[in-house]
Structure 1
Amino acid sequence: MHQVIATPQDEKFAIYRPGSPRAVQLSRAFYSELADVVAADRPVPAWFISACRQAWDLDVSGVPSREAVMVRPKTELNYSRATYEINKFCNLNCKMCYLPMRPLSGVDLEGKATLLAMLRDAGVVWLQITGGEPTVDRDFPAFYRMAYEAGMMLDILTNGTRLHSHLDLLRECPPNKVTVSMYGATEDAFEALTRTRGAFKGFMQGLEGAKAAGIPLEITVLVTKDNAHEAEAMRLLASDYAETVTVCGTISPTYEGGGDPLAQQADGWVDRSEIFAGCPAGHTFFHVDPHGLVTMCKVGRENPINLIVEGLDGLLRLPGIADAQMLRTGGCAGCKLSKTCRVCRPLAKAHQEAKAPLASYCQHGMKEVTA
């Protein structure tokens, strides 16, 4: 199996090592040389050996080139990132979940392999595997390994409660990172929010196992009205297991515009501090649901493209679909302060369909901003 990945990134080239945040920038000439070396099964060049040693303290001298580096080819499509919702099913029943329904359904392992091949051919290098809860999907281990062997840098978005079951796999095939959501610092708060007995024990077992295995963790502390009293305790607990801890208190509707999750919003925890300056969703990034339907992101799910039926040609329509969803329409049409908006249009639309209070998604929070 490969040690590092050499890949195009837009018009640039780079080498990445799974499990490490460091990267080595490549010239086009060096990238082409690596591709030729691997194709001919020749020894890797001296500059490559030196670069790996300096960047990762990795010795690839004497290692067959195909085991030292996987060279990803340049593709016609300009997609470098994607999220794959492997299944909507979750072993928890969180009160604030943005998924309106969580069925145990989706394509089989053969279908997942087909989707993965298309993601690879679309140029995807950075793949986030999400859900539902991805680690409870029966095909998760096989799909994860296939994606790793395809030369992808893998992120996992998880609640952490089943993470301990996959530690051997993650040690053998290191992820880029594992992002774990935290719902409480104590069993009572955690299980009140997730409505699942034994969830906190599984969560802590996952954190302990990942730390012992050296798996890179990031933790997102999600503050709701059920656990707001533990916000600081959650932050401190998370910092024992992860270098990066993000505290988030903004609750969203379901992506279909259902308002039930908004009842979990804690007072004083809505954060709309940064101006929305656009995002690459639909242009260099896309989302895939369990059935192979592609949308600009997990929130903007209008006009999905059936990737299995249409193939890669279907992705050519995605930028136009994404741009249409970003237009200020509905309740935001005519807003005089749209250039200072802090919410993307698909998320604002979900709030509007949920009949959410204006202050919950618009920092202006008053009707006078419209013409």
Structure 2
Amino acid sequence: MLPTDYKELTRTLMSRSAEKGVPVNGTFELTSRCNLGCAMCYVRTRAADRAMKASELSTEQWVDLGRQAVDSGMMFLLLTGGEVFLRPDFFDIYEPLTEMGLILTLFTNATLITERVAQRLARRPPNRLEVTIYGATEETYEKVTRQPGSYKRFIRGVNALLDAGLRPKIKTTLSRLNVHEFDQMRAMAEEWNSTFSAGWLLTK
């Protein structure tokens, strides 16, 4: 008999699928391009990189890959980048995946999320939505992202998600540039009634 607790159920499914060789969990990196320029990040592809954009899978290819994954037993899928909302066809990929019954997690920096984008996302919300914060103040945030105006776009994006009824998890990657604002970033997440986590994974 399967457990009813979600976390325990997930662990059980992962364990049994590994035993049987079923790819129950997967990740689609829709693009490696990003609109930010964080020094500590392993993703170095700029948003305007035409060669990289041309090499990305098409809308149809991603949707077909999703069907193949589901047919092979996949249940949990992470959509990540780069920054997924750099793809103008994001919803043309995302919405068919939701119709396949996949349990989706979405990673974003939220700087490209407008009210319209948030409202459309809220119509078919992901099971888990994680937004990265790089600093609690404009100065620190943009010292990390090296992108003027990105802090205001981040705040706008998070507020748009909240206004649409979505409750993202807020996470940060700590470095010497922003560690002094750890408590402030956590306080911002609390103000948004969101969970908060921090890691050092991508830092130098």
Instruction: Please report the TM-score for the alignment, with normalisation by the length of structure 1.
Output: 0.47
What is the RMSD of the two structures over their aligned residues, measured on CA atoms?
2.3
The answer to whether the 8 Å contact 1:183/1:190 transfers is: yes
Select the residue among 61, 64, 70 that pairs with 1:120: 70
AA aligned to 1:133 is E
- 1:214-234 deviation per Cα after TM superposition (whole angstroms, max 9, x unaligned): 213111122211112211111
Deviation at 1:174, TM superposition (A): 1.5
- Secondary structure of the residue that 2:43 maps to in structure 1? coil
- Secondary structure of the residue that 1:93 maps to in structure 2? coil
Deviation at 1:251, TM superposition (A): 4.1
- Residue 224 in structure 1 maps to residue 175 in structure 2: yes
The answer to whether the 8 Å contact 2:113/2:157 transfers is: yes
**Structure 1 residue ranges, 4+ long, deviating more than 4 angstroms after superposition:** 11-14
Instruction: Please report the TM-score for the alignment, with normalisation by the length of structure 2.
Output: 0.82
Number of corresponding residues: 186
Q: Determine the structure 2 residue equivalent to 1:184.
A: 135
Q: Determine the structure 1 residue equivalent to 2:35.
A: 91
Identity %: 30
AA aligned to 2:137 is T
1:35-50 superposed matches below 5 A: none
Q: Determine the structure 2 residue equivalent to 1:209.
A: 160
The answer to whether the 8 Å contact 1:179/1:217 transfers is: yes
Q: Determine the structure 1 residue equivalent to 2:144.
A: 193
- Residue 234 in structure 1 maps to residue 182 in structure 2: no
- 1:163-192 deviation per Cα after TM superposition (whole angstroms, max 9, x unaligned): 235212212111101101110111111111
- 1:274-308 deviation per Cα after TM superposition (whole angstroms, max 9, x unaligned): xxxxxxxxxxxxxxxxxxxxxxxxxxxxxxxxxxx
Pick 1 or 2: higher relative contact order, CA cutoff 8 A, min separation 6: 2
Distance in 2 (alpha carbons) for counterparts of 1:139 and 1:241? 29
Q: Determine the structure 2 residue equivalent to 1:62.
A: none
- Secondary structure of the residue that 1:163 maps to in structure 2? coil
Distance in 1 (alpha carbons) for counterparts of 2:61 and 2:3? 30
Runs (5+) with no aligned partner, structure 1? 1-10, 15-20, 26-75, 253-260, 263-371
Runs (5+) with no aligned partner, structure 2? 10-19, 47-51
1:267-306 superposed matches below 5 A: none
Distance in 2 (alpha carbons) for counterparts of 1:216 and 1:233? 19
The answer to whether the 8 Å contact 2:34/2:45 transfers is: no
- 1:22-68 deviation per Cα after TM superposition (whole angstroms, max 9, x unaligned): 69x8xxxxxxxxxxxxxxxxxxxxxxxxxxxxxxxxxxxxxxxxxxx
Q: Determine the structure 1 residue equivalent to 2:56.
A: 106
Select the residue among 135, 138, 142 that pairs with 2:85: 135
Q: Determine the structure 2 residue equivalent to 1:161.
A: 111
